Amino acid sequence: MNRKEIAAEFLKSAGMGRVDEAYEKYVSHKFVHHNQYFKGSRNALLEAMKEAHLTHPNKSIDIKYSYEDGDTVLTHSLVVKEDMDIAVVHIFRFESDKIVELWDLGQVIEKDSPNENGLF
C-alpha cells in the first residue's frame, strides 16, 4: 500500500468508528498532531476520535483529492454528518509506512453559499 492509500484507509477506518484498528495499523507510536482542540499526543487524539464517533458519528467520508510529495500526503475530503457537511483537509507526514504527524483543517459547508463553485 502506498502512502496515499494508507492515508485514505486511515481516514475511512478511523472516521467511521474503527479508531483503535486504524491507529494500530497506520499510526506510529511517535505520532503527534496539531488539532488545536486537544492535547498533541497520540492517545489524546485517539480518545477524541472515539468519543466523536459515539456522540456525533460521521455518515460518510468521501476523499475528493489526494496528493503526495515526499513524506507528506494531503487529502481534501467531504465528511457528512447528520446535521452538517464539512470540507476537510488533512496533512499527513510519514516515516516509512506509518503516520507520524497530522494536521486537520475543516470548514462547515454552508447550504446557501453564494459561491457557485462550491468547496470541491
- Determine the pLDDT at residue 75: 98
47-52: long-range contacts (C-beta < 8 A, 24 or more apart)? 49/14, 49/15, 49/19, 50/19, 50/20
What CATH number has the domain bearing residue 50? 3.10.450.50
pLDDT (0 to 100) of residue 83: 94
Domain count, the chain: 1
Domain-located, residue 54: yes
| pLDDT the model gives residue 86 | 98
pTM of the shown model: 0.94
Confidence of residue 2 (pLDDT cuts 50, 70, 90): very high
- Position 74 scores a pLDDT of 98
Is 117 within the bounds of a domain?
Answer: no
pLDDT in tens, 26-68: 999 999 999 999 999 999 999 999 999 999 999 999 999 999 9
Query: Which one, of 109, 11, 16, lies nearest residue 59 by Cα?
Result: 16
